[in-house]
Structure 1
């Protein structure tokens, strides 16, 4: 049985499980790169990314061979 992925991922989990780059690179890409998933402000001190958007981005990159 496979566990369901959470709807949102916080930065620490995102960098550990999905993206092989630094905190600074994550935020630079979120700000500047076309098509990169944008963060959502869930509360005053919590920012997260939608897991579905992250997975779609990764699938599009692997399909392009990037």
Structure 2
């Protein structure tokens, strides 16, 4: 079990507030994107009151958007 945990130590989870800060939008904007934009990373529930996004998925979304606006 300890070995399995160490393999996933690089996974960082973000709250809606943190995602909003990375994207420069409001928390409600994050939820709207999650609902309406099929390319936006989907959150997952850790518990009934805790929903998170994987940082790597949010970063990939940012990279994709940045590269598509440069062409």
TM over 0.5: yes
| In structure 2, distance between residues paired with 1:15 and 1:24 | 9
1:12 aligned onto 2:17? yes
Runs of 4+ more than 6 Å apart: none
Q: Greater helix percent: which structure?
A: 2
What is the total number of aligned residue pairs between the two structures? 62
For 2:18 and 2:25, how far apart are their aligned partners in 1?
Answer: 12
Unmatched runs of 5 consecutive residues or more in structure 1: none
Query: Structure 2 stretches of 5 or more lacking a match?
Result: 1-9
| TM-score, structure 2 normalization | 0.76
| TM-score (normalizing by structure 1) | 0.81
**Does the 8 A contact of 2:19 with 2:30 survive in 1?**
no
